[in-house]
């Protein structure tokens, strides 16, 4: 999955679940999600489930920090990085 | 699938049940306003209860979540004092677990050793006036300053605090990062700038003292941080996972003991020339109590087992927490009814179970919040 697709899916989920559809189209890649309270403890737990179930990436507790969850851009970067690491591990296992 | 105890589990369960009856069977009979004593705490430590899941190298039992739960179940089954069992459980699970998994170096070693051998009592202070279920809304702050953090603000509900030597607490270190701007600390009680209020008057869990905790310019050296700066939310959720799983095993033990008493009473007490148990209204009430107990027990054991397997346990533990607490409240109400007028009198110890059970639907994350988690796991 490309970075753009990952970013779009994460943004889409946040718009639908936490921003009531974001009718005014306010969510951007750099909207500060933690500072604005879009990601509180409950919503972050939900987002983690979405990323696990729909994007197939399990985020370890050590990655749950303000830097990685600052905005859609940083979340996307973390998810694509973890997905790449997963794929590298699988590839190494099948060699 | 294997539902039975292993020989080692059975042996540990029996030993704790027996020791708990013998050494702490009378604890808590003094009533409201008298709190657990250091002697009782030491007695619990000698049975191994204050360090069940703490590392063996620091004097703990090194037990898994399931074995910790079974041990706390046996403890409560043998000890009438749910306040003491709650205090020990909060010390172990809400404080010992995060110190075990997130503290570093000598702080970890010193606290864990003292907590396991009973020379230290620990309290957890998360809740604030405006941050109960919404733990992301903390007002207590921690300002970084020359290798230390300066804590300011007030925690509104901390069990064990009036007796505590160590306080595990959470404060905002980065206000712009929401709940990921929270940092966890294990704070020695004797640092200056900490004030613990008068113990609250409460409904139940009488022997567990609880109070407000205030930090004023309290300088906490950085070595007392649990985990990294900003990891406090994850530290707290981790400790609550253990608490939801294992602390509620105490209520399984409470229901077990309560059921034994109800069955005994239904056999002994006669009205209209027959034992109460011969009336279907009573015998079926007891059957339903048994059904609630056994189904809650299975959910709890499964939640602990998933934790031990390193698998996702959030939903299973939430289900268990709701099932055990609601079974305890319903069974305790039934027990009062089965005992009739005697059940309402403090001297029989039957109504005490109800007062001790009611808060179980509130602490460790209210049942409404657990249902939210369950619904969200179901994709709603
Ligand atoms: C015996 C006991 C011991 C405790 N010990 C400690 C301790 O050692 N340390 C500590 O930090 N705290 C402790 N607490 C406090 C406890 O953690 C809080 O009481 C609990 O988290 C609930 O917070 P609150 O009381 O502010 O209730 P609120 O959060 O104000 O909730 C009130 C009601 O509203 C419901 N509610 C709130 N939000 C939602 C929502 N989003 N959806 C649906 N329903 C909702 C709740 O479920 C509850 O029924 C203890 C409490 C008790 C009773």
Domain count, chain A: 1
Query: Model ipTM?
Result: 0.79
Per-residue confidence band for B197, with pLDDT thresholds at 50, 70 and 90 = very high
B154 lines ligand 1 (CB under 6 A): no
Residue in B127, B128, B136 to alter for ligand 1 test, most ligand atoms within 8 A of Cβ: B127
Per-residue confidence band for A87, with pLDDT thresholds at 50, 70 and 90 = confident
- Chains A and B form CB pairs within 8 A to the count of 54
- Please indicate, yes or no, if residue B241 is contained in any of the structural domains: no
Bigger pLDDT: A94 vs B234: B234
- Please indicate, yes or no, if residue B341 is contained in any of the structural domains: yes
Domain count, chain B: 3
Give B307-320 as a DSSP string. HHTTS--HHHHHHH
Domain boundary among B231, B258, B291: B231
Q: Does residue B80 sit in the same domain as residue B142?
A: no
- Asked if A61's CB is within 8 angstroms of B230's CB, the reply is no
pLDDT, one tens digit per residue, over B155-177 is 999 999 999 999 999 999 999 89
Rounded to two decimals, the pTM is 0.92
- Please indicate, yes or no, if residue B94 is contained in any of the structural domains: yes
B131 Cα nearest atom in ligand 1: 26
pLDDT, one tens digit per residue, over B73-90 is 999 999 989 999 999 999
Q: Does residue B257 sit in the same domain as residue B373?
A: yes
Q: Does residue B221 sit in the same domain as residue B153?
A: yes
Q: What is the per-residue pLDDT for B32?
A: 60
pLDDT, one tens digit per residue, over A12-42 is 999 999 998 988 888 999 999 998 889 988 8
- Please indicate, yes or no, if residue B258 is contained in any of the structural domains: yes
- Please indicate, yes or no, if residue B242 is contained in any of the structural domains: no
Q: What is the per-residue pLDDT for B378?
A: 85
* Average pLDDT taken over every residue of chain B: 95
Query: What CATH number is attached to the domain comprising B301?
Result: 1.20.140.10
Per-residue confidence band for B28, with pLDDT thresholds at 50, 70 and 90 = low
Domain that holds residue A80: 3-92
- Residues above pLDDT 70, as percent of chain B: 98
Q: What is the per-residue pLDDT for A95?
A: 56
- Rounded to the nearest angstrom, the distance between the alpha carbon of B212 and the centre of ligand 1 is 15
Query: What CATH number is attached to the domain comprising A65?
Result: 1.10.1200.10
- Asked if A37's CB is within 8 angstroms of B176's CB, the reply is no
- Please indicate, yes or no, if residue B261 is contained in any of the structural domains: yes
- Asked if A69's CB is within 8 angstroms of B372's CB, the reply is no
Nearest Cβ partner for A65 among B176, B180, B314: B180
Domain boundary among B53, B82, B117: B117
Nearest Cβ partner for B372 among A42, A49, A66: A42
Domain that holds residue B104: 7-117
């Amino acid at each position: 999955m490309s970075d753009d697709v990952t970013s779009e899916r994460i943004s889409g989920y946040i718009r639908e679940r936490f921003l009531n559809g974001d009718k005014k189209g306010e969510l951007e890649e750099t909207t500060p999600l933690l500072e604005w309270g879009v990601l509180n403890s409950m919503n972050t737990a939900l987002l983690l489930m979405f990323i696990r179930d729909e994007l197939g990436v399990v985020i370890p507790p050590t990655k749950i920090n303000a830097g990685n969850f600052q905005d859609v851009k940083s979340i996307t970067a973390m998810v694509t990085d973890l997905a790449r690491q997963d794929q590298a591990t699988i590839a190494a296992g099948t060699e | 699938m294997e539902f039975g105890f292993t020989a080692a589990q059975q042996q540990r369960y029996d030993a704790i049940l027996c020791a708990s009856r013998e050494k702490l069977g009378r604890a808590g009979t003094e009533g409201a306003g008298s709190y657990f004593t250091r002697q009782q705490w030491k007695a619990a430590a000698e049975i191994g209860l204050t360090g069940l899941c703490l590392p063996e190298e620091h004097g703990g039992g090194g037990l898994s979540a399931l074995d910790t739960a079974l041990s706390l179940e046996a403890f409560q089954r043998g000890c009438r004092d749910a306040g003491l069992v709650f205090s020990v459980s909060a010390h172990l699970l809400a404080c010992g677990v995060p110190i075990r998994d997130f503290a570093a170096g000598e702080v970890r070693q010193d606290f864990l050793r003292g907590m396991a051998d009973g020379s230290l009592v620990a309290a957890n202070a998360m809740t604030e006036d405006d941050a109960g279920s919404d733990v992301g809304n903390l007002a207590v702050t921690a300002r970084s300053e020359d290798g230390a953090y300066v804590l300011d603000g007030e925690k509104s509900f901390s069990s064990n605090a009036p007796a505590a030597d160590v306080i595990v607490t959470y404060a905002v270190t980065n206000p712009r990062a929401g709940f990921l701007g929270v940092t966890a600390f294990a704070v020695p009680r004797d640092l200056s700038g900490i004030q613990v209020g008068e113990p609250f008057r409460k409904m139940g869990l009488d022997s567990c003292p609880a109070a407000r905790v205030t930090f004023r310019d309290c300088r906490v050296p950085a070595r007392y941080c649990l985990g990294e700066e900003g990891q406090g939310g994850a530290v707290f959720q981790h400790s609550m996972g253990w608490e939801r799983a294992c602390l509620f095993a105490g209520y399984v033990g409470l229901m077990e003991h309560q059921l034994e008493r109800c069955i005994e009473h239904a056999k002994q007490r006669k009205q209209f020339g027959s034992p109460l148990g011969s009336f279907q209204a009573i015998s079926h009430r007891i059957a339903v109590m048994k059904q609630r107990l056994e189904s809650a027990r299975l959910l709890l054991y499964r939640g602990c087992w998933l934790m031990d397997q390193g698998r996702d346990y959030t939903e299973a533990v939430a289900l268990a927490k709701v099932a055990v607490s609601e079974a305890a409240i319903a069974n305790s109400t039934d027990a009062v009814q089965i005992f009739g007028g005697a059940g309402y009198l403090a001297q029989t110890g039957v109504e005490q179970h109800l007062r001790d059970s009611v808060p179980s639907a509130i602490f460790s994350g209210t049942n409404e919040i657990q249902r939210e988690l369950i619904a969200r796991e179901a994709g709603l």
